[in-house]
Amino acid sequence: MQALAIREVVFIEEQHVPEGIERDADDARAYHVLAVKGGHAVGTGRIVPLQEAPHGQPGQWGKIGRMAVLQSERKGGVGSRVLGALEDEARRRGFAGIILHAQLTALGFYQRHDYEAVGEVFDEAGMPHRQMTKRL
């Protein structure tokens, strides 16, 4: 799967995330998006339905994760297109909102797409993250 190849380059090779953490059981039930440019996969992301909504939130929610864009394609809009496609799928499924765990270096990206940081900074895969939410 090309999405896994992109994630391997970005998360395992660049960010040194252990393979056992990067790959998980959610891959089998997730909706995956693949961005292609010139016939080559350059970005990916996934969304999975949450079993329960965040505390105090009504309706079905989804969790976006494994957002990855090859270094040569960053800052070119690929991430925005992947995120938009995942949000479109969430709307098609009738989700009330989306959560995600953003690396601190990506907070600005998600804030530009109307996500709000919630709670304190936490460690995930050895990197600082914040939970972010967006109601649809």
Distance of alpha carbon 71 from alpha carbon 43, whole angstroms: 10
Distance of alpha carbon 116 from alpha carbon 110, whole angstroms: 8
Which residue, among 112, 113, 132, 136, has the nearest Cα to 122 in the 3D structure? 132
User: Which amino acid belongs to residue 69?
Assistant: V
Check pLDDT > 80 for residue 1: no
pTM for the whole structure: 0.93
Instruction: Output the CATH code of domain 2-135.
Output: 3.40.630.30
For the chain, domain boundaries: 2-135
- The pLDDT tens digits of the residues spanning 33-90 come to 999 999 999 999 999 999 999 988 999 999 999 999 999 999 999 999 999 999 999 9
pLDDT score of 20: 84
- The pLDDT tens digits of the residues spanning 2-29 come to 988 899 999 999 999 988 889 898 999 9
pLDDT score of 19: 86
pLDDT score of 23: 87
